[in-house]
Chain A
Amino acid sequence: MSVDSVFVHKMWNDHELSKMVKGGVPFPMLSDGGGKVGNIFGVYLEDAGVEARGRFIIDPDGIIQGYEVLTPPVGRNVMESIRQIQAFQRVRKTKGAEATPSGWKPGKLTLKPGPDLVGKVWEVWKTKMAFDD
């Protein structure tokens, strides 16, 4: 979503993005003239009249589980967004019985918060597990 019109979205997709992604952008490119939606999400930059690079993860109940907002010159990390979605999906699937520690990704250890784990995380989870091998 940006403040551009759907016509400009079409031009950008047809003339540039479709040359980077086969078949073009697979998801809807939303138009937010005047930044009204960006404003309620807190990402509309009034002075510049544009929206910051805001990314919101919304779950199947419509609840915002996470967001990240960057100023224009720095691009996002798609893999990190996917990792966060996988983590939120794991938590949701276990109805909150499992929590995902720092750097978690599928296949890594989750933690089961409860009275027995208090003060014992150091026994089961090591800081090196926060990093990729």
Chain B
Amino acid sequence: MAEEIKAGCARPTGGPVGEKPGAKQEPPQQPMLKEVKTMVTVGKKAPDFTAPAYHKGKFINVKLSDYLGKWVVLCFYPGDFTFV
């Protein structure tokens, strides 16, 4: 039976269920390089990036370093239509 999803501010997501494909495989001989979670640091350069964007009726490409010389407020949010 399909369950009704309660609409909240975190966007509902799905994912694989049950046994992971390839879960029975032997662990790799070489230890995998563990990915280190990073956070930027105040007083340090913001990492540069490009991103597609919607701006006043047009689709554009935005590059952070194009804004050098200006103050920039970069805002992340969980998703469009997430209420708050």
Contact = CB atoms under 8 A, between A and B. Distances in A.
B51 A62 contact: no
Interface residues of B, number: 46
A99 interface: no
A51 B42 contact: no
A69 to B, nearest CB: 8
Contacts of B71: 57-60, 85, 88-89
B68 A60 contact: yes
A95 to B, nearest CB: 16
B9 A72 contact: yes
Given A42-B37, A56-B73, A63-B45, A30 B78 contact: no
Interface in B25-79: 37-49, 51-56, 59-60, 62, 64-65, 67-79
A49 B40 contact: no
Chain A's interface: helix, strand, loop or mixed, by majority?
Answer: mixed
Given A9-B80, A64-B41, A1 B68 contact: no
A1 B8 contact: no
Contacts of A24: 56
Interface string B1-39: 000000011110100000000000000000000000111
Give the 4 A-B residue pairs with the shortest CB-CB distance, closest first: A42-B39, A28-B53, A12-B80, A75-B84
Interface of A: 1-4, 6, 8-13, 16, 24, 26-32, 36-38, 40-43, 45, 48-67, 72-76, 81, 85, 88-89
